[in-house]
Amino acid sequence: MPRELRGKTVAVAGMGRSGFAAVELLLERGAKPRAVDLNPTEQMRARLASLGVELFQQSPDAFAGADLIVQSPGVPLETLPADFPVIGELELAGYFLNGPVIGITGSNGKTTTTALAGHILRESGIACQVGGNIGTPPAAMVRTSRPDQWNVLELSSFQLETIQEFKADVAVCLNVTQNHLDRHGTFERYADAKARLFETQREDGFAVLNLDDPVCASFARRTRAAVQWFSSKQAVPTGFALCGDKIVSGGEALMRRQEIPLRGLHNVENVMAAACAARIAGATLDQIAAAVKTFPGVEHRIEFVCSIDGVDYYNDSKATSVDATLKAIDSFAGGLWIILGGKDKGSDYSPLRSALRRKGRAALLIGSAAEKIADHLNGALPLIRCGDMETAVRTAHRQARPGDTVLLAPACASFDQFRSFEHRGEVFKELVRKLNSEER
């Protein structure tokens, strides 16, 4: 694929954050971008007009005459014309991004691990910028990239499925469990999208993999890079492992598990993955440990909101898959009033049964997936059909007792009732804070 885009007509499909970033990068590189969206809005049109770019409703005619299509992550590949060359926004950014790349993927924990890796590098005096699926799109990071600065990128399966030349110097996979089957169709195709991050690496790169996850571990056979491992269950030949209550690497202790300011065994694994990447980038064990201890966590990831009448409220709106919800449940001893539901992603919710039978007081069901979840969890614990977030929060508040926990960990996407998982988490927190003020 030619990197010289000057004078080329490039259609950008999808005008979310990534699409706008791609349009701006194309303009900077002398291309002639054409914006395309399935649901164009006047706000999009006005913003693009200020750049001198026209917005088209997505249709076959919208792509006519284009030399190239740039696909935003939210646009399924099969909705684009098959007779045009297509690259993703990540691939476009990779053509021009300066500096080495740490790419972090996985079904769960990507955002926390990416933010933590960036925090460790900054605290260690190592120049970096953080973005990707978290915050700043890769295309918008090009102008601030430098040869002496690391690019720490959270990368989703949607971003990775079409990469060809994009290469991560350090590629990290945390885990691979069922997710986004509504987009990818099968688990195998979803896992293959994750694997692309490793298949495109060079021999001088590093692959950081979870030895305890069979699919993740299988990526070692699909990369030319040197492999480093992390594990919470067994010793590793290179990398980091949890031995008793200590994280160790090559016989040296990094820190005690109790010193990690994040709940759950999955966050111990996230720490080890971030530590692997940061050590490759030049951070010392002492610097890594000190930085982990000061990491504030990430909003909407098992985030403590407040305690009301002895009941703790936690926001894990980012738990948009069954596996993420299981990890959230595992972080608590029991007494859970769990809010489940939203937009179904083709998930099987029955794996939640055992954990909720042991730890759940009740499941409060909201959103369009409520009846499917009720069918899959029937008999495991009491089910309360609440419909919306406010009803769920107020129902939990009335029925929970001191020592219990109200946990938002929906196991679903947010787009039936909310703009995003962030919006869903904000609504939850606002409702809880309103309850708290009413109690005073």
pLDDT per position as a tens digit, 277-310: 999 999 999 999 999 999 988 889 899 999 999 9
Q: Which two tokens stand for residue 163?
A: 């990469």
Cα–Cα distance measured from residue 406 to residue 436, given in angstroms and rounded to the nearest whole number = 13
Positive or negative: CA dihedral 294, 295, 300, 301: negative
Question: What was the pLDDT predicted at 1?
Answer: 46
CA atoms within a 13 Å half-sphere pointing along the CA-CB vector of 353: 12
Confidence of residue 198 (pLDDT cuts 50, 70, 90): very high
If phi > 0 it is left, if psi is from -120 to 50 it is alpha, else beta; for residue 260 that is: beta
pLDDT at residue 258 greater than cutoff 60: yes
- Average pLDDT, stretch 201-229? 97
Q: Which two tokens stand for residue 55?
A: 């917005």
Cα–Cα distance measured from residue 64 to residue 54, given in angstroms and rounded to the nearest whole number = 14
Same topology for domains 9-84 and 92-293, yes or no? no
Confidence of residue 187 (pLDDT cuts 50, 70, 90): confident
In DSSP terms, which residues pair with 249 in a beta bridge?
252
Amino acid at 131: G
CB 345 within 8 A of CB 410: no
pLDDT at residue 184 greater than cutoff 80: no
pLDDT at residue 2 greater than cutoff 90: no
CB 113 within 8 A of CB 172: yes
DSSP 253: E
Q: Where are the domains of the chain?
A: 9-84, 92-293, 303-439
- Average pLDDT, stretch 87-92? 97
Please tell me the CATH superfamily of domain 9-84, with its number: NAD(P)-binding Rossmann-like Domain (3.40.50.720)
pTM for the model stands at: 0.84
Q: Which two tokens stand for residue 351?
A: 């794996």
Q: Which residue has the higher pLDDT, 3 or 239?
A: 239
pLDDT at residue 52 greater than cutoff 50: yes
Percent of the chain with pLDDT over 70: 97
Confidence of residue 180 (pLDDT cuts 50, 70, 90): low
The tens digit of pLDDT for each residue in 56-83 reads 999 999 999 999 999 999 899 889 998 8
- Write down how long the chain is: 440
CB 5 within 8 A of CB 142: no
**3-class secondary structure for 205-241?**
CEEEEECCCHHHHHHHHHCCCEEEEEECCCCCCCEEE
Lowest mean pLDDT among 149-163, 183-197, 353-367: 183-197
- Average pLDDT, stretch 334-341? 97
DSSP 246: E
- Written out in words, the top-level CATH class of the domain with range 303-439 is alpha beta
Confidence of residue 28 (pLDDT cuts 50, 70, 90): very high
Domain 92-293 is of which CATH architecture?
Answer: 3-Layer(aba) Sandwich (3.40)
